[in-house]
């Protein structure tokens, strides 16, 4: 999260604060909501992953969307513990803004109107959107003048035909549309086609810091659990997948930043 904020130029501007709202699609159980909207941990369990001594609140208003009803309910309880924070959570399909409820549309529009900057955040979620991520990004750009930031997955340009076929099968099992797996250059062209200026787009490859280390971490955890007669169980498949991605390089982990020039004038 901190890397994405830094690449977006948000953390650097904490001292010269502009009012910002965030539309966060796929907020999970609310950890990133708490981290982005609270100066301090809310519950004792938050301290386990907080870890930053000097923490800033980077957004004045927050609209979160998730399709998982159980995660929504859990996150809502946590957000209710936040005092005087303008955060609204919704259970909806973020990838289909044309079917958003009137309440959600109003909340997003109100947050946008009351802020100098609007940002759309997709943290490790956009590649799951069906039929693709582009409907949402286009809507956010045109309706809210939103800048875009994400951690996302791309297809390596040098991927072989066999690797592409294997990945296509795996993405189906993952519930991630194959159409979302494009090369970083194609990703950039799609953003330009939506309206972002090429000079305002960054696609930063951080693959070496993601898949192989994550696979190694899961392997270490599996070894420790087996000492207790346990194991990773169904997560073994994920460990294998991350290891393949890390060794082959067929999937690239990228930080994507696309700034909407009109909403950032004077930054």
Q: How far apart are CA 136 and CA 129, in angstroms?
A: 9
For residue range 21-30, list pLDDT tens digits in order: 999 999 999 9
Which residue bears the tokens 């599996």?
A: 222
Does domain 2-207+249-263 bear CATH number 3.40.50.150? yes
Q: What's the mean pLDDT in 41-69? A: 83
Q: How far apart are CA 96 and CA 103, in angstroms?
A: 15
CB 31 within 8 A of CB 12: no
Helix/strand/coil for 69: helix
Sign of the CA dihedral with 74 first, then 79, 82, and 84 last: negative
What average pLDDT is seen over the chain?
A: 90
Pairing of strands 86-91, 147-155: unpaired
Q: What's the mean pLDDT in 139-153? A: 98
What would the DSSP string read from start to end of 210-264?
THHHHHHHHHHHHHHHHTTT---TTHHHHHHHHHHHHHH--EEEEEEEE--GGGS
Q: What's the mean pLDDT in 121-145? A: 97
Q: How far apart are CA 267 and CA 264, in angstroms?
A: 6
Q: Where are the domains of the chain?
A: 2-207+249-263
Q: What's the mean pLDDT in 42-62? A: 79
CB 37 within 8 A of CB 106: no
Which residue bears the tokens 């609270």?
A: 38
- pLDDT higher than 50, residue 266: no
- pLDDT higher than 50, residue 240: yes
> How many other CB atoms are found less than 10 A from the CB of residue 206?
15
- Token code pair at residue 182: 């494009």
Pairing of strands 251-258, 147-155: antiparallel
What distance, in Å, lies between the first and last C-alpha atoms of the chain?
Answer: 21
For residue range 178-236, list pLDDT tens digits in order: 999 999 999 999 999 999 999 999 999 999 999 999 989 888 887 887 887 877 776 78
Q: Is the peptide bond before 131 cis (omega within 30 degrees of 0)?
A: yes
DSSP H or E stretch at residue 88: strand 86-91
């Amino acid at each position: 999260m901190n890397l994405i904020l830094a690449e977006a130029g948000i953390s650097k501007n904490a001292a010269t604060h502009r009012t910002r709202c965030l539309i966060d699609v796929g907020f999970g159980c609310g950890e990133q909501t708490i981290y982005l909207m609270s100066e301090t941990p809310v519950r004792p369990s938050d301290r386990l992953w907080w870890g930053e001594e000097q923490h800033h609140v980077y957004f004045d208003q927050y609209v979160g969307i998730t399709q998982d009803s159980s995660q929504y309910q859990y996150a809502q309880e946590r957000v209710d513990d936040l005092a005087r924070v303008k955060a609204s959570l919704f259970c909806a399909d973020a990838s289909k803004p044309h079917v958003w409820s009137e309440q959600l549309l109003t909340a997003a529009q109100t947050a946008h109107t009351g802020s100098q900057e609007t940002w759309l955040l997709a943290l490790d979620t956009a590649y799951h959107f069906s039929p693709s991520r582009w409907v949402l990004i286009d809507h956010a750009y045109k309706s809210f003048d939103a800048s875009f930031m994400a951690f996302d997955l791309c297809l390596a340009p040098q991927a072989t035909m066999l690797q592409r076929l294997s990945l296509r099968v795996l993405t189906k099992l993952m519930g991630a549309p194959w159409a979302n797996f494009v090369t970083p250059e194609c990703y950039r062209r799609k953003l330009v086609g939506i309206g972002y200026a090429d000079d305002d787009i960054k696609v930063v490859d951080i693959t070496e810091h993601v898949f192989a280390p994550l696979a190694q971490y899961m392997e270490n955890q599996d070894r420790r659990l087996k000492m207790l007669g346990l194991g990773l169980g169904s997560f073994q498949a994920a460990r294998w997948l991350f290891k393949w991605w890390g060794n082959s390089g067929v999937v690239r982990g990228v930080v994507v930043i696309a700034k909407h020039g009109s909403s950032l004038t004077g930054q």
